[in-house]
Amino acid sequence: MNKDRVRRVLKFIQDTYSTEGEKDIQIFFTPNIAGDYMETAYETGDVTIDFAPSYWYVEVFGLSTDEENWIEDNVLGGLSNFEFDTPWETKLEEADV
């Protein structure tokens, strides 16, 4: 697992979407099949984050299965919600990977 990549993704999502006055946002690692309108919000050589403004969720592509699983197990609550006050940075630093 690349802790730096996980940190960049979560930090971008938190910094970008918590400023909208929201308390959380849904994160998915698979493309939507409903045809929701998506905007690319973040793109580096290895990671892309698409945002669905009408439904307030993001899709993250380019992470490894281990990175996705770590986020699901340590950051996301029910319904794939990333609650912005989750102490994910401390958990990430303490992760034994």
Residue 33's domain spans which residues? 3-87
Longest CA pairwise span in the chain (Å)? 38
Q: What is the pLDDT of residue 96?
A: 78
The four Cα atoms 95, 78, 63, 41 give a dihedral, to 10 degrees, of -120
Q: Is residue 94 part of a domain?
A: no
Task: Quote the pLDDT of residue 5.
Answer: 94
10 within a domain of the structure (yes/no): yes
Whether 65 is in a domain gets the answer yes
CB atoms within 10 A of CB 76: 19
Tell me the pTM: 0.86
Report which DSSP code applies to 23: S
Total Cβ atoms within 10 A of residue 92: 19
Q: How far apart are CA 42 and CA 81, in angstroms?
A: 19
pLDDT value at position 66? 95
Please check whether residue 93 lies inside any domain of the structure.
no
When divided into structural domains, the chain yields a total of 1
Per-residue pLDDT of the chain (97 residues; tens, 9 = 90+): 999 999 999 999 999 988 767 778 999 999 999 999 999 999 998 999 999 999 999 999 999 999 999 999 988 876 688 888 878 888 888 887 6
Q: Is residue 97 part of a domain?
A: no
